[in-house]
Amino acid sequence: MSDGQTARWHDHRAHWMGAQDPPIVARRPGEEHLVQRFRIDVRADGGTIRVRGDVRWVPGPSPWPWIAGGAALAIATVVGARTRRAPAVLGTVLVVALVAATVHAVGAWTYATAAIGKRAGDAVPTIGAIALGVVALVQLARRGLRTAAPLLVFAGLFVAIAIGLADMSALSKSQLPTDLSPALDRLTVALALGGGFGVAGGAALHVADRGSHARPGARHPSPDAPTPAGGPPEGAPTPSDEARPVGENDSHSMMQG
pLDDT of the residue at 229: 52
First-to-last alpha carbon distance for the chain, in angstroms, is 111
C-alpha 129: how far from chain center:
9
- The angle formed by the CA atoms of residues 137, 141 and 145, to the nearest 5 degrees, is 85
Q: Is 243 exposed, middle or buried (0-12, 13-18, 19+ CB in 10 A)?
A: exposed
Distance CA 165, CA 148 (A): 24
> 145-184 pLDDT, tens per residue?
999 999 999 999 999 999 999 999 999 999 999 999 999 9
- pLDDT of residue 221 exceeding 60: no
- Residue 54 is assigned to a structural domain of this protein: no
Quickly state the pLDDT bin for 251 (edges 50, 70, 90): very low
Among 10-24, 53-67, 100-114, which is the least confidently predicted range? Answer: 10-24
Give the bridge partners for 37, in sequence order. 54
- Residue 249 is assigned to a structural domain of this protein: no
- Residue 175 is assigned to a structural domain of this protein: yes
pLDDT of the residue at 237: 55
Quickly state the pLDDT bin for 13 (edges 50, 70, 90): confident
- Residue 68 is assigned to a structural domain of this protein: yes
- Residue 27 is assigned to a structural domain of this protein: no
**CA distances to 33, 45, 106, 129, 245 from 189, in Å:** 28, 45, 13, 14, 72
Residue of higher predicted confidence among 196 and 236? 196
pLDDT of the residue at 62: 95
Q: Are 128 and 189 in contact (CB under 8 A)?
A: no
64-80 vs 86-111: helix crossing angle, rounded to 10: 150
Using the CB atoms, write b or e for 43-55: b if 16+ within 10 Å. Answer: eeeeeeeeeeeeb
pLDDT of the residue at 236: 52
Q: Are 167 and 44 in contact (CB under 8 A)?
A: no
- pLDDT of residue 248 exceeding 50: no
- Residue 255 is assigned to a structural domain of this protein: no
Q: How many domains does the chain have?
A: 1
Q: Are 139 and 151 in contact (CB under 8 A)?
A: yes
Q: Is 15 exposed, middle or buried (0-12, 13-18, 19+ CB in 10 A)?
A: exposed
Tell me which residue range forms the domain holding 85.
64-211
Residue of higher predicted confidence among 241 and 194? 194
pLDDT of the residue at 214: 54
Distance CA 223, CA 32 (A): 78
Distance CA 158, CA 133 (A): 8
pLDDT of the residue at 113: 86
Distance CA 101, CA 253 (A): 80
Average pLDDT over residues 32-60: 90
Quickly state the pLDDT bin for 87 (edges 50, 70, 90): very high
Distance CA 175, CA 196 (A): 25
Q: What is the DSSP string of 133-160?
A: HHHHHHHHHHH-HHHHHHHHHHHHHHHI
- Residue 200 is assigned to a structural domain of this protein: yes
- pLDDT of residue 224 exceeding 70: no
- Residue 86 is assigned to a structural domain of this protein: yes
Distance CA 185, CA 193 (A): 12
